[in-house]
Amino acid sequence: MGPSKPLKHSPPPHRPHGAGGVIDLALAKHATARHAAAAAGAARAPTLTVARWQRLLLLATAALLLASGAAWLAVHYLLGAGAGELPHPAEPWLMRLHGAGAFAALFAGGAMAGAHVQAGWRVSARLGRQRGSGIALVSLLSLTVLSAYLLYYFAPEAWRGLMGWIHAGLGAALAGTGLWHARRRLLSWRKP
C-alpha cells in the first residue's frame, strides 16, 4: 500500500441567515410562503408560523392556566379562605392543577424560544412586524414566572394577597398580549 492521500474537504455551503437548524428552516419556510403570496398577488405577506404541536401545546397550557387560575380565584375569594371561611376543599386541587399547567407552560415557552422567538426576531428585523408584541410577551412571561416563584417560595403571609393579585394581573395581561401577538393568524382564520 502506498501513502494515503489527504481527504479533500469542500468548504461549507454559504448560509446567509445563520448556522442552520430550526431557525433557518423557519426562515426558509417564511420566505417561501412570502414569495408564493407575492406571486399570487396577495395584499399582505404571511406571518411567521409556529409548528402545529407547539401551537396546540401553547394553547392547551394557556387555557389550563387561565381556567385553573380563574377557578382558584373564584373559589378562594367567594367560598374559601379569602371570604373569611375555612379553605375550600377544591383550593389545593386547583392550585395543583395550576402548578402542573405551569410546568407544561415552561416547556412550551422553551420550545417557542428555541425556534419561533429567534426566527421571529430575524424576520421582524427585516419586516418590522410584531417585534414589540413579542418583546412584551416574553417580558410578561418572565415576570409571571418570577411572581409565581416569589409567591410560592418567598411571600410573607402579609403580602400573599397583594402578590397573588399581581400574579393574576400579569397572567391576564400575558393572555391578552398573546392574543394580540397572534392577531394576524387569528384574523386569517376568520376569512373565507
pLDDT tens digit sequence for 3-59? 555 555 555 555 554 445 555 555 555 566 555 555 655 555 555 778 888 889 999
* The pLDDT value given to residue 156: 92
Q: Comparing C-alpha atoms, which of 146, 160, 187, 145 is closest to residue 61? A: 145
Q: Print burial letters for 83-98: b (CB count within 10 Å at least 16), e (below 16).
A: eeeeebebbeebeebb
Q: What is the mean pLDDT of the chain?
A: 80
Structure-block grid coordinates of residue 72: 382558584
pLDDT for 109-139, tens place per residue? Answer: 998 888 788 888 877 766 667 788 889 999 9
pTM of whole model > 0.85?
no
- The Cα–Cα gap between 105 and 116 comes to 15
User: How many C-beta atoms surround the C-beta of residue 109 within 10 A?
Assistant: 19
Residue where the block lists cell 397583594: 162
DSSP 67-101: HHHHHHHHHHHHTSGGGTSPPPTHHHHHHHHHHHH
Instruction: State residue 167's pLDDT score.
Output: 97
